[in-house]
């Protein structure tokens, strides 16, 4: 979809749908008040008759043939003024896009200077809501519903609004690419399939981006005994996907390391999962998919930082060659791990991949993983959990989440949790039969492999892939693109601070 900015009056904008926000229990403000004057009080009469209410997730259409250049108005509700934030606007824009997507080719949005969010932030939220809200996960239907929507126009003459719109369009487009990866079926998106898609991202983008993807044999040669053990049962061999972004004039000494879990299908292995919703374990590569898509975005945005993405792609399969509970593995950093539960595989993949990302010289690390079902139970579908060995780095991740719409809430790490992964036989074990503090235990496990320097772990089990839609601008099942917006914001803030 094209994302554009157009200076001009609401009357002169050509669009199939011209949208604007309406507050609940308050008279019209800003551009809607002006349009109502132009339409002789039509909108006020419709509000009196409760056709226009300002309630969130309503967007009544009013046909205005002749009076404006646009053929319809959408009066998108954003609820009460006190509750208005960027997510409200994302939801309002998602509602308009969802309702108009089957007939509108061009949607234009008016920003409203009287709202409690800056026009640039409004534009960013409207772009997010429109692009993410018009996403269709039904790409694998034999006759998919055609998307009519071709362009989104933000009506503004402000340079800041234009820049925010441009950036948001790039980022949300890549977030949708990450959703395509997560939604792709596991027979199509094997580790090789994901490596191919990563190579396509590099080939189609800037010359500053390059991808290599060592195979299982090379993974073993690198000493990645934990990653390789998870991979050993599958007929679809693992790949270690390494994407490097080298800006033409890199800023400072920072090398941002983005690490992703990409288990293309998680059966649980010998510690087999229950059947209900197991099909959603195709989304267990959402962290890795987000990292790959984010690198595409950062290259397109011409991010001034060096960035290295490292993604461990494998299936966690069952079979005669599968690793077992009781196995003791040696990770790349020499630490030995006793396997208690083969379904705690993500931390094994990440252990080696984190250690490798450090070996490649990354200064600031952050990993994205659908790591624990307990995180989904704890925080549901809105916040991911963030753990870090450095409070400033964790704060930057949390703030980037808040600003971008990929919300993340701080969780604790503490050495007193280390005993949960103490093993009688090896340096540590991968799980504990007690179901206490599961997301923290997993983070404490990863901590052993994070090396020196700031590292943060984002457990996105609840936010990365939806079994049940969220009923806001992410009304679809499946991949959400979680992480792409957060990473782009984080890189931006890190570059500004550097």
- Which residues of the chain form contacts with Mn ion (CB under 5 A)? 266, 343, 345
345 binds ligand BES (CB under 6 A): yes
Distance CA 118, CA 112 (A): 9
Contact 296, 309 (CB under 8 A): no
Asked if 263 touches Zn ion (CB under 5 A), the answer is: yes
Site for ligand BES in 34-63 (CB under 6 A): none
Single out the catalytic residue among 347, 394, 429, 485.
347
Q: Does 489 participate in binding ligand BES (rule CB under 6 A)?
A: no
Of 121 and 343, which has the nearer Cβ to ligand BES?
A: 343
**Is 273 tagged catalytic?**
yes
Instruction: Sort strands 151-155 and 209-212 into parallel, antiparallel or unpaired.
Output: unpaired
Nearest by Cα to 444 from 358, 356, 372: 372
The stretch near ligand BES (CB under 6 A) out of 121-129, 232-240, 373-381, 487-495 is 373-381
Q: 182 vs 438, which CB is nearer to ligand BES?
A: 438
Which of residues 32 and 443 has its CB atom nearest to ligand BES in the complex?
A: 443
Q: Tokens in use for 316?
A: 């966690």
Q: Does 137 bind ligand BES (CB under 6 A)?
A: no
Say if residues 229 and 329 touch (Cβ distance below 8 Å): yes
Q: Read out DSSP for 91-154? A: HHHHHHHHHHTTT-SEEEEE--TTSSS-HHHHHHHHHHHHHHHT--S-TTSSSPPPP---EEEE
In the complex, least distance from residue 267 CB atom to Mn ion, rounded to whole angstroms: 8
CA 186 to chain centre: 19
User: How far is CA 85 from its chain centroid?
Assistant: 19
Q: How many angstroms separate the CA atoms of 241 and 341, rounded?
A: 25
Look at residues 268, 266, 370, 271 and name the one whose alpha carbon lies nearest to residue 314: 266
**461 counts as binding ligand BES under rule CB under 6 A:** yes
Interacting stretch for ligand BES, rule CB under 6 A, among 2-10, 368-376, 443-451, 468-476?
Answer: 368-376
Contacts with ligand BES: how many residues (CB under 6 A)? 16
Selected range binding Zn ion among 51-59, 69-77, 243-251, 344-352, rule: CB under 5 A? 344-352
State how far the Cα of 161 lies from the Cα of 496, in Å rounded to an integer.
19
341 binds, among Mn ion, ligand BES, Zn ion, none (CB under 5 to 8 A by kind): ligand BES
Structure tokens at 110: 């008016």
Smallest gap, in angstroms, from Cβ of residue 370 to ligand BES?
4
Asked if residue 322 lies in contact with residue 342, where contact means CB atoms within 8 angstroms, the answer is yes
Q: Which residue's CB is nearer to Zn ion, number 372 or number 400?
A: 372
What is the helix (H) or strand (E) element at residue 432, kind and residue range?
A: none
Task: Kindly state whether residue 341 participates in binding ligand BES, applying the rule CB under 6 A.
Answer: yes
* 346 contributes a contact to Zn ion by CB under 5 A: yes
Helix or strand or coil: residue 465? strand
Among positions 373, 410, 451, 453, the unique one binding ligand BES when judged by CB under 6 A = 373
Q: Is 290 in the site for ligand BES (CB under 6 A)?
A: no
Q: How far is the CB of 284 from Zn ion (least distance, A)?
A: 4
Q: How far is CA 365 from CA 320, 331, 394, 414, in A?
A: 36, 19, 11, 19
Whole-number Cα distances in Å, 269 to 176, 197, 446: 30, 26, 20
Q: Out of ligand BES, Zn ion, Mn ion, none, which partner does residue 374 contact, by CB within 5 to 8 A per kind?
A: ligand BES
Cα torsion through 40, 44, 47, 49, rounded to 10: -70
CA distance 487 to 489: 5
**Shortest Å, Cβ 369 to ligand BES:** 8
Instruction: Decide if residue 226 touches Zn ion (CB under 5 A).
Output: no
Q: Which stretch binds ligand BES (CB under 6 A): 11-19, 292-300, 371-379, 402-410?
A: 371-379
State yes or no: residue 367 binds Zn ion (CB under 5 A): no
Give backbone dihedrals phi and psi of 453, rounded to 5 degrees, phi first: 100, 165
CB 280 → ligand BES: shortest distance, Å?
A: 7
Tell me the window of 61-69, 101-109, 114-122, 255-263 that interacts with Zn ion (CB under 5 A).
255-263
The answer to whether 481 contacts Zn ion (rule: CB under 5 A) is no
Q: Is 423 in the site for ligand BES (CB under 6 A)?
A: no
Tell me the closest approach of the beta carbon of residue 438 to ligand BES, in angstroms: 6
Residue (259 or 438) nearer to Mn ion, CB: 438
- Of 99 and 266, the one with the shorter C-beta distance to Mn ion is 266
Alpha-carbon gap, residue 382 to 380, rounded angstroms: 6
At its nearest, how many Å lie between ligand BES and the CB of residue 200? 26
By the rule CB under 6 A, 315 interacts with ligand BES: no
Q: Which among 14, 57, 273, 477 is annotated as catalytic?
A: 273
E strands, 389-454, are 408-410, 428-429
Cα-Cα end-to-end distance for the chain: 33
Residues 6+ apart with CB under 8 A from 106: 14, 15, 16, 17, 149, 150, 151, 152, 153
Nearest Cα to 227, choosing from 249, 259, 180? 259
Burial 34-54 (b: 16+ CB within 10 A, else e): bbbebbeebbbebbeeeebbb
* Per-position x/- string for 244-273, each x denoting binding to ligand BES as judged by CB under 6 A, each - no binding: ----------------------x-------
The answer to whether 343 contacts ligand BES (rule: CB under 6 A) is yes
Residues forming contacts to ligand BES in the complex (CB under 6 A) are: 266, 284, 341, 343-346, 370-374, 376, 431, 438, 461
Residues forming contacts to Zn ion in the complex (CB under 5 A) are: 263, 266, 284, 346
Q: Which residues are catalytic?
A: 273, 347
């Amino acid at each position: 979809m094209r994302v554009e900015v157009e200076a001009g009056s609401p009357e002169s904008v050509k669009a199939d749908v011209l949208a604007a926000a309406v507050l609940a229990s308050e008279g019209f403000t800003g551009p809607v008040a002006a349009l109502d004057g132009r339409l002789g009080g039509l909108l006020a009469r419709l509000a009196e008759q409760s056709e226009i209410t300002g309630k969130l997730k309503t967007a009544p259409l009013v046909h205005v043939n002749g009076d404006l250049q646009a053929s319809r108005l959408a009066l998108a509700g954003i609820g009460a003024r006190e509750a208005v934030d960027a997510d409200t606007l994302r939801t309002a824009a998602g509602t308009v896009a969802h309702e108009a997507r089957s007939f509108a080719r061009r949607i234009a949005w008016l920003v409203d200077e009287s709202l409690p969010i800056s026009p640039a932030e409004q534009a960013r939220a409207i772009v997010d809501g429109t692009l993410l809200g018009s996403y269709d996960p039904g790409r694998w239907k034999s006759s998919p519903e055609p998307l009519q929507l071709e362009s989104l126009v933000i009506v503004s003459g402000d340079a800041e609004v234009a820049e925010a719109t441009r950036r948001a369009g790039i980022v949300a487009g890549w977030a949708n690419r990450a959703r395509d990866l997560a939604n792709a079926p596991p027979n199509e998106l094997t580790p090789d399939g994901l490596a191919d898609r990563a190579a396509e991202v590099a080939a189609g983008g800037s010359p500053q981006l390059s991808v290599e993807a060592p195979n299982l044999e090379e993974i073993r040669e690198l000493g990645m005994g934990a990653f390789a053990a998870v991979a050993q049962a599958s007929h679809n061999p693992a790949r270690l996907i390494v994407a490097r972004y080298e800006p033409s004039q890199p800023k400072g000494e920072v090398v941002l390391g983005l690490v992703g879990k990409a288990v293309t299908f998680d059966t649980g292995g010998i510690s087999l999962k229950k059947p209900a919703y197991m099909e959603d374990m195709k989304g267990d590569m959402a962290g890795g998919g987000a990292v790959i898509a984010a690198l595409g975005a950062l290259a397109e945005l011409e991010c001034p930082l060096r960035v290295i993405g490292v993604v461990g792609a494998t299936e966690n399969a069952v079979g005669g060659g599968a690793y077992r509970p009781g196995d003791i593995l040696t990770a790349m950093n020499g630490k030995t791990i006793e396997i208690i539960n083969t379904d705690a595989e993500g931390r094994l993949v990440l252990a080696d991949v984190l250690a490798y990302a450090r070996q490649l010289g990354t200064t600031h690390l952050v990993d994205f993983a659908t790591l624990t079902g307990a995180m989904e139970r704890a925080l549901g579908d809105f916040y991911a959990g963030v753990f870090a060995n450095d409070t400033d780095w964790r704060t930057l991740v949390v703030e980037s989440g808040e600003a971008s719409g990929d919300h993340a809430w701080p969780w604790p790490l503490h050495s007193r949790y280390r005993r949960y992964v103490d093993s009688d036989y090896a340096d540590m074990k991968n799980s504990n039969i007690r179901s206490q503090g599961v997301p923290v235990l997993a983070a404490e496990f990863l901590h052993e492999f994070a090396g020196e320097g700031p590292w943060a772990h984002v457990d996105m089990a609840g936010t990365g892939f939806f079994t049940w839609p969220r009923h806001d601008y992410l009304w679809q099942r499946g991949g959400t693109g979680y992480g792409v917006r957060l990473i782009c914001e984080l890189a931006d803030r890190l570059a500004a601070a550097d």
